[in-house]
């Protein structure tokens, strides 16, 4: 089992791609999924972090399977919304997730923080086993939000 | 009209829009956090080109990665092509990259323009 921790201070550079490609191995589809998902999570952390000191993004490789864990801080007021949204998404199968993704894309307007809400759907479509969220309270106003994603070859 | 030539970076695609040579291509990575800035000149160029297009326009998308922030601007770009007569999208994906193929199919579902899917 090997681990890779993504440097959240560097931006998405050539070395970001090279290091992830080396870590992911030669199989095209899992490598591209891993990198695509890591980019989404990376940008999600930078876009939405309430406090970057709690942010982390790391990947565990076990044979041909990958687990990606993104840790971010979110305000207490967002926790209920995120729980409900992920619970809803985890009830959908791949076809239903793709349908929702298409629906959001076709009617998308950008949110205040620049996303259009597609990122979690794309991640869920490519994940082998749904999205596993873990919330931990830091203080009255802040939680850490850890999102665990498992990737195999073809989902 | 003047060609629009933008060199790709680690997060932005290479863009070649050259009406004289008949080359229309967006390729590489489109993973910038704010892709609208990248695609604004593309939209402006296409709006101008639509007034006097070539008899046929084959528009190539050959993307290695694109993030979901780019999805909307890509859709806007492809939608703009539907106003150019006799235009077809050539959507390239690597042979084993089913996700990129599906992404092209999703755009195809949402616009009224012919697509041809090709591998590289």
* B104-118: pLDDT as tens digits: 999 999 999 999 999
Domain count, chain A: 1
Give the list of residues 6+ apart from residue B16 with CB closer than 8 angstroms, or none. Answer: B3, B4, B5, B23, B24, B25
C-alpha A55/C-alpha A36 separation (Å) is 19
pLDDT tens, position by position, B50-68: 999 999 999 999 999 999 9
pLDDT tens, position by position, B18-49: 999 999 999 999 999 999 999 999 999 999 99
Whether the per-residue pLDDT at A59 is higher than 60: the answer is yes
What rounded mean pLDDT belongs to chain B?
A: 96
Cβ within 8 Å, pair A105-B75: yes
Cβ within 8 Å, pair B68-A122: yes
| pLDDT, position A155 | 44
The 3-class secondary structure across chain B, one letter per residue, is: CCCEEECCCCCCCEEEEECCCCEEEEEEEECCCCCHHHHHHHHHHHHHHCCCCCCCEEEEEEEEEECHHHHHHHHHHHHHHCCCCCEEEEEEECCCCHHHHHHHHHHHHHCCCCEEEEEC
CATH number at residue A123: 3.30.565.10
A115 — pLDDT class (breaks 50, 70, 90): low
pLDDT tens, position by position, A16-28: 999 999 999 889 9
Comparing A5-9, A77-81, A149-153, which segment has the lowest mean pLDDT? A149-153
B46: closest CA of chain A, how far (Å): 21
pTM of the shown model = 0.92
What domain range includes position A103?
2-151
Cβ within 8 Å, pair B72-A116: yes
A147, A133 Cβ separation under 8 angstroms: yes
């Amino acid at each position: 089992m090997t681990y890779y921790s993504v440097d959240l201070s560097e931006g998405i550079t050539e070395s970001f791609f090279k290091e992830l490609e080396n870590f992911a191995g030669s199989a095209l589809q899992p490598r591209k999924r891993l990198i695509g998902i890591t980019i989404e999570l990376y940008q999600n952390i930078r876009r939405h972090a309430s406090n970057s000191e709690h942010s982390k993004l790391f990947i565990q490789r076990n044979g041909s399977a990958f687990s990606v864990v993104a840790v971010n801080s979110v305000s207490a007021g967002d926790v209920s919304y995120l729980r409900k949204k992920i619970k809803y998404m985890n009830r959908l199968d791949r076809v239903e997730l793709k349908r929702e993704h298409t629906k959001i894309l076709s009617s998308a307007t950008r949110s205040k923080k620049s996303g259009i809400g597609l990122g979690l759907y794309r991640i869920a479509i490519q994940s082998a086993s749904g999205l596993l969220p873990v919330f931990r309270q830091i203080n009255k106003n802040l939680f850490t939000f850890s999102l665990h994603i498992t990737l195999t070859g073809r989902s | 009209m003047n060609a629009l030539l933008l060199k790709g970076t680690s997060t932005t695609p290479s863009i070649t829009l050259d009406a004289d040579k008949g080359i229309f291509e967006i390729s590489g990575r489109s993973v910038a956090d704010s892709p609208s800035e990248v695609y604004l000149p593309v939209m402006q160029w296409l709006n101008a080109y639509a007034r006097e297009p070539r008899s046929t326009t084959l528009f190539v998308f050959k993307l290695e990665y694109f993030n979901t922030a780019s999805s909307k601007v890509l859709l806007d770009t492809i939608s703009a092509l539907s106003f150019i007569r006799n235009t077809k999208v050539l959507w390239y994906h690597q042979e084993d990259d089913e996700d990129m193929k599906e992404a092209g199919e999703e755009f195809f579902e949402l616009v009224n323009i012919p697509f041809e899917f090709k591998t590289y």
